[in-house]
Structure 1
Amino acid sequence: MTSKSKSQLAPLPWTEILLYWVLSFGSHLYSFYQLQRFSKEHEAGLEREFQLEKGLLKGFKRDPSDFEWSFWTEWAKKSLLWTLTGHGIISRFTSVYYPKLRVPALTIYGLLAAGSVLGVKGVSVLLVHLGLSFSVAQLRKPALSWACNLLLLSTLHIQPLQEIQRDWYKTEEEYYLLLFSIAVCGLRFISFSLELCWCPPGHGGVVQLCWLFSYTFYHPFFYNGPIITYKDYIEQMCRSGEESDKDQSLLSYLVLRSGRIILWWCIAEFMIHLMYMHSIQSNETYLKILPPWALGGLALALAQFFYVKYLVLFGLPSMLATLDKLVPPKLPSCVSIIHSFTGMWRHFDEGLYRWLISTFIL
């Protein structure tokens, strides 16, 4: 009855749809304009309090208050862009000339790339976690695997251990990168452990360990995701090794997708040059004196920036994974067209959603 009634619903007239689009875009742009005016009027005070940076655009400052964006932008400049490029080159070379060596080559490269940034001690921590998780998973007890992996993740909050790990690095940013890597790898260890507990016994332990290394140190997803389950990774990587790698459309895909990622990056940078929304939201005084339209613009700008930011952060790794013939999670959906928190939960970070479904529910 419900499906029948839905099929009988008449589509809206195109004039009404056009009116809704005009009103939506108009309200967005006007609220952003009001927020930009407020940002410019209070630029001096915001600069004193939050140390706005010299902007890339003449006449504009840059708001560096969003930690994630500033953190990953700096790391991209330092090393990540270069190591991701190296991954793409090695993957393409081995796919064409040595397809049977592609997975081992990418695993070794990912391990070396992680070591070049995290250092030997940082990678050693990950290897200890990997070894413990793998050993407990051999018992094929899901409860024990959960307990082991949660205990390993809880070590991130042990103060004496934090101080020891901080001493390994010269800057806080390097230490934070280790924390992020441990946390994301922890999700992978959980996915591997539960998959091993559920599969029938008799699979070779050495083969499982090699695939766990490949899954853990797959470089595009190593630091920040997106998350892909162990089962999906193995199936897709094995299937990609059997397929022909003479597709001429790869170059056009690479150019078009790279162009989109650069465009998203430009939009994100333009937003934090034009509107100092992250600094404004951190000061209660400014929030109280914001005009109503500017306050609405602040909420919209924060949501839209969060969306565009993850288009960039997930877009580049997903592009490389697609070139490796994997099927990465879909990129986040635009927050302005998601009308429920259920939709936000399912479609903004699809990889994490699938991981939670596979580990907690299944």
Structure 2
Amino acid sequence: MISERRQILPKCEVRMCFLIWISALIYASYHVYAAGKLFDMSKNGDDFNNGWFLGYKKDTADFEWYNWIPMIRLLMPWYLLHIILTEFTRWILIEALPVCYIMVTNLILFHLFGLKIVLLVFLKILLHFLTLCTRSILLVWILNTSFLLFLSFVLTYIMDYMRVKVSGSDYYFVVVTFAWLQLKCASFSFEFLKKSSKKLNFRILLSLLGYSYYLPLYFLGPLMLYNEYEIGVKQPFKRWTVKRLFSALLNILRYIMWIVLLDLFLHFFYIHALEYNLVKVKMLGVWHLNGLGYLLAAFFCVKYIAVYGLMRTLAAIESHNPPPAPSCVFYVYRNSQMWRTFDVGYYKFIKRYIYVPLLNESKTVSRRLIAAAITFSYVYIWHGTHANIFWWSLLNFIEVSIVEAALSEIYKNDRFQYWLHHTFNEANVERLTALIFAPLYLFFIFANSFFYVMDGGFIFISQFLEASWRFNVCSIFISYCFCITAMNIRNCQKKKINFENIKVI
């Protein structure tokens, strides 16, 4: 809708919008900090432990973060072994790389979870391989969806029946790695079925196993589609130089620094402990609750930037090119943009294997809605069939596939184009864009709050509905200032942002 190759709005206006937005963020963050100080930690012992910074208590209520950090520390020696072994193999006999991937990851699985989990993982991959004998995409999808439902409803009983003793964080990682594994097996299957002339043999099985067990992306993501993995695994050995070693270490330290800073943040802002006390936080005031919602979203985004970035760096060291780390939440103001840039590998998966095949070159509105509805249904099943995930998926479908898609269709209308360019100059077009997306950005935050606040999403919505009109107008104005800021940050990055880029998925 607007050109972003040059400055459109006056610099003083952009700076003023940034100042208003950042001031509101600091003010709300202070209220969240103050709310944490009112927290009675003695009654919530499981949500805190003795931190590592100057005797402060640390918020440990984020189950993901609480389990990720020990897992990363535990896996670091294994990552080093993996890189040394695979780089040596790439130098001596590149065809044997899948064997290295299989061997190292299975040693870790055996060490962490035992032989039964190793066998369960292998049988799951083997079942997908045998399904390829039918060369049926429908059967692959049936198996894929059935296994995701199996993860949600049956896995616990199967593990009890097999007398597999895993609980707590171990069970969490078993479920998460199975979910990642499901996407990898599906990606391999669809790419294989595109090449109908290929016959199943041991080499194909070895390729599937190597891809499925690839260590840097096995436990914590992100997803790399098989066609991208296949390019990396065929790359010849590159001689190690001081410059290459220094670059790799610098990137690893950069993401470790982000992990340390996030851990330090939890010594001062008890956002996840407060997350389980949203009713009390709501009683403190709208600035407390809204500040908490924003910081939860920011922490959620940055922790994935740090962890995905670290895993991506480890994969890039050995010539793979995984999807980039998520975009920074501080310049993403459109939900469709968030879907394309947050978990890029997962977005590529649902677009390449679900949305585009369902669309089948049809551009009708009804076909797009049906394709988007099925895609978001898969998103719901993959993330776990919980009530909060249902509302998160539904609200995202409404905003991305209905509201933003409708805006795209309106903008492409010739009459609207004529009216727009004969009524507004470029600066006012940018202001209009920000004004339109300001309330949508608030809806975007409320919709995504269902994902990381579990059952508290309705509390965030209710406080907005119950607040005074003055506060709501203030919220929309701050959101408008954020949109102006975000649009100009992306302008500095020389990326195009316009209504034409708004897609159903």
Same fold (TM over 0.5): yes
1:211 and 2:215 matched: no
Match of 2:293 among 292, 299, 303: 299
Per the alignment, residue 23 of structure 1 pairs with 20
**Aligned equivalent of 2:335:** 341
Which residue is 2:79 aligned to?
84
Q: 1:74 to 1:8 in 2, by over 3 A?
A: closer
| SS of equivalent to 1:274 | coil
Q: Does 2:300 align with 1:315?
A: no
Give the 3-state SS of the residue equivalent to 1:227 in structure 2. Answer: coil
Q: Tell me: CA distance 1:232–1:9, structure 2 relative to 1, closer, same or farther (3 Å).
A: closer
Structure 2 counterpart of 1:161, from 158, 163, 180: 158
Q: Normalization by structure 2: what TM-score?
A: 0.65
Q: How far apart in 2 are the matches of 1:26 and 1:8? A: 28
Distance in 2 (CA, whole Å) between partners of 1:9 and 1:262 is: 35
Is 1:74 the counterpart of 2:76? The answer is no
Q: Distance in 1 between matches of 2:58 and 2:272?
A: 11
Distance 1:115 1:18, change over 3 A: same
Structure 1 letter corresponding to 2:292: L
Cα pair distance change 1:299/1:147, threshold 3 Å: same
* 1:246 CA drift (Å): 3.9
2:127 match: 132
CA shift, 1:251, in A, is 1.4
Deviates more, 1:329-338 or 1:247-256: 247-256
The offset of 1:243, in angstroms, is 5.3
**Per-residue Cα deviation, 1:244-299 (whole angstroms, up to 9, x for no partner):** 33454321222221221122112211221111111112114322223332222211
In structure 2, the CA distance between the partners of 1:137 and 1:64, relative to structure 1 (3 Å rule), is same
Give the direction of change, closer, same or farther, for the CA distance of 1:285–1:144 in structure 2 (3 Å limit): closer
CA RMSD of aligned residues (A): 2.2
Q: Deviation digits for residues 186-221 of structure 1, max 9, x if unmatched?
A: 111111112222212234522211110110100011
**1:114-160 CA distances to partner (integer Å, 9 max, x unpaired)?**
22222211011111111111011121110011112322333322153
- 2:32 maps to 35
Checking the alignment, whether the CA contact within 8 Å between 2:177 and 2:219 is kept in structure 1 is: yes
Give matches, 1:1-362, under 5 Å: 6=3, 11-40=8-37, 42-43=38-39, 45-51=40-46, 52-77=48-73, 79-156=74-151, 157-158=153-154, 160-164=157-161, 167-169=163-165, 171-238=167-234, 240=235, 242=236, 244-246=238-240, 248-360=242-354, 361-362=356-357
**What letter matches 2:14 in structure 1?**
I
AA in 1 matched with 2:135: R
User: Over residues 288-332 of structure 1, what are the superposed CA-to-partner deviations in whole Å (9 max), with x where a residue is unaligned?
Assistant: 223332222211210111012112221221011110111111101
Task: For 1:102 and 1:163, locate their aligned partners in 2 and report how far apart those are by CA, in whole Å.
Answer: 35
One-letter identity of the residue aligned with 1:155: F
2:410 maps to: none
Aligned residues: 353
Contact 2:33/2:269 (8 A) holds in 1:
yes
Amino acid corresponding to residue 175 of structure 2 in structure 1:
L
Cα distance change of structure 1 residues 6 and 15 upon mapping to structure 2, 3 Å threshold: same
User: What TM-score do you get using the length of structure 1 for normalisation?
Assistant: 0.90
CA separation of 1:298 and 1:284: change in aligned 2, threshold 3 A: closer
Q: 1:30 to 1:93 in 2, by over 3 A?
A: farther
Superposed CA deviations along residues 16-53 of structure 1, whole A, max 9, x for unmatched, are: 3333333333322222122112211x13x244135321
Q: Is the 8 A contact 1:138 1:196 kept in 2?
A: no
Q: Residue 62 of structure 1 aligns to which amino acid in structure 2?
A: K
Alignment gaps of 5+ in structure 1? none
Letter in 1 for 2:252: S
Q: Is the 8 A contact 1:155 1:161 kept in 2?
A: no
More displaced, 47-56 or 226-235?
47-56
Classify 1:85/1:145 alpha carbon distance in 2 versus 1 (closer, same or farther; 3 Å).
Answer: same
Structure 2 alignment gaps of length 5 or more: 358-505
Letter in 1 for 2:339: W
